[in-house]
Amino acid sequence: MDHSIYEFLFQGFAFVLGAAVGSFLNVCIYRWPVELSINKPRRSFCPVCKQPIPWHRNLPLISWIWLRGRCANCGAKIAFRYFAVELITALLFLAIWQSFPWQLAIAYWIFVSLLIVGTFIDLEHFIIPDHVTIGGIVAGVVCSLAVPALMEADSRLAACVRSLLAAALGYVILLIVLEAGKIAFGRKRIQFETATPFTWTKRGDDADLVVGTEESLWSDYFAREKDRLLLECEEARIDHHTYGNVTLDFRYDRVTAEGHVLMLDDVTQISGVARELVIPREAMGRGDLKFLAAIGAFLGWRAVLFSLFVGSLLGSIVGLITLVVGKRVWSAKLPFGPYLAFGALSWMFFGQVFLNWYARLLSP
């Protein structure tokens, strides 16, 4: 058989395999953030009617197009994300197969699968689960041990050590950025043009905070035990007790008003009118630290630095665009994981090109 036919068959296999893996990644993206098992139920189901989807209506890429993005049982819309994840995974699997030796390709297939899951979960939920980050670190070390070429090493031991050191570097660099950002920008003060109504309402183990038109989850503001949120109020009401011209000093589990400390577990609702709000904030989530560590475990220390640089640059550009196009609300969050993933992919495919360009720049 002609060599080109073999090549075509393997490329087709890589694309189809990527689409099938993408279908599984959609399961992870949907279930992990809501703490559902990816094994039970084994079959995919409609998020709206919960009806199991038979195999002939769950064909990667084909089914979404054939059903026009709707559930065959209840007619509910199926998000375009399902099709996009399958297509992106298929294209990346194909590109990797065409660009790298088969041993590296298999390792990179695992890597990009983790990047895709982390990216889409971070975009939707602003978290990157430990399944992706810690699992990615372990997978990166194991793959480096199995394929030393990942770390450009001749021995498995050397590759394993380099992978661990690169993972540690990724974590420590972002940890320094996180702590420095907390010191420099750890509090944000919002002064309202007019007195603005607010409500704090308990919801299970968490609570909803609504200030004017901004709605947010209480736990989003408290990454550390010492974090404080301050509300300067013209008036405030805590359950049946009313205060006038008071500053409410919140910790995650309690509030202080006029020297009285109330545990939030004993409070149902807080409301009032605020003049100023001071919120605690982080430079980034701790999931990003572990995500960059996973990138290092797969791609090495240079990829850590490159991914951080490219991710920060791209994130800054996107942030500036959102400010120019429309005023960003004060409670908005920007996930950093997708930018790190983009930097990692850029390094994986074009890292050597970048190094050659940089070398020519230094020694023309």
- The pLDDT tens digits of the residues spanning 119-139 come to 999 999 999 999 999 999 999
Specify whether 79 is located in the same domain as 118: no
Sheet with 229-238, edge to edge strand ranges = 214-217, 206-211, 187-203, 269-280, 229-238, 241-250, 254-257, 260-263
Specify whether 111 is located in the same domain as 90: no
Helix (H, G, I), strand (E, B) or coil at 189: strand
Provide the percentage of residues in the chain whose pLDDT is more than 70.
Answer: 97
**Residue at which a domain ends, from 96, 114, 149:** 96
Q: Are 332 and 188 in contact (CB under 8 A)?
A: no
Specify whether 310 is located in the same domain as 174: yes
Specify whether 1 is located in the same domain as 86: yes
Distances (CA, A) of 104 to 3, 15, 77, 333: 21, 17, 38, 36
Mean pLDDT of the 279-304 span: 93
Provide the percentage of residues in the chain whose pLDDT is more than 90.
Answer: 67
Please say if the pLDDT value at position 330 is more than 70: no
* Number of compact structural domains in the chain: 3
Q: How far apart are CA 308 and CA 343, in angstroms?
A: 7
**Residue at which a domain ends, from 280, 303, 322:** 280
Specify whether 149 is located in the same domain as 206: no
Helix (H, G, I), strand (E, B) or coil at 352: helix
Tens digits of residue pLDDT in 231-250: 999 999 999 899 999 999 99
Specify whether 216 is located in the same domain as 104: no
Q: How far apart are CA 92 and CA 55, in angstroms?
A: 24
Q: How far apart are CA 299 and CA 161, in angstroms?
A: 13
Specify whether 258 is located in the same domain as 207: yes
In terms of residue numbers, what domain contains 74? Answer: 1-96
Mean pLDDT of the 146-154 span: 94
Specify whether 269 is located in the same domain as 324: no
**What's the pTM?**
0.88
Angle at 362 between CA 358 and CA 364, to 5 degrees: 105
Specify whether 244 is located in the same domain as 254: yes
**Residue at which a domain ends, from 247, 280, 313:** 280
Q: What single-letter DSSP state applies at residue 212?
A: T
Amino acid (1-letter code) at residue 271? S
Distances (CA, A) of 124 to 33, 110, 162, 173, 279: 9, 22, 33, 25, 22
Specify whether 62 is located in the same domain as 208: no
Specify whether 223 is located in the same domain as 256: yes
Q: Are 215 and 236 in contact (CB under 8 A)?
A: no
Sequence-distant (6+) residues with CB within 8 A of 123 are 335, 338
Specify whether 37 is located in the same domain as 74: yes
Q: Indicate the burial class of 42 (C-beta count within 10 angstroms; 0-12, 13-18, 19 or more).
A: exposed
Tens digits of residue pLDDT in 87-123: 999 999 999 999 999 999 999 999 999 999 999 999 9
Instruction: Report pLDDT for 326.
Output: 67
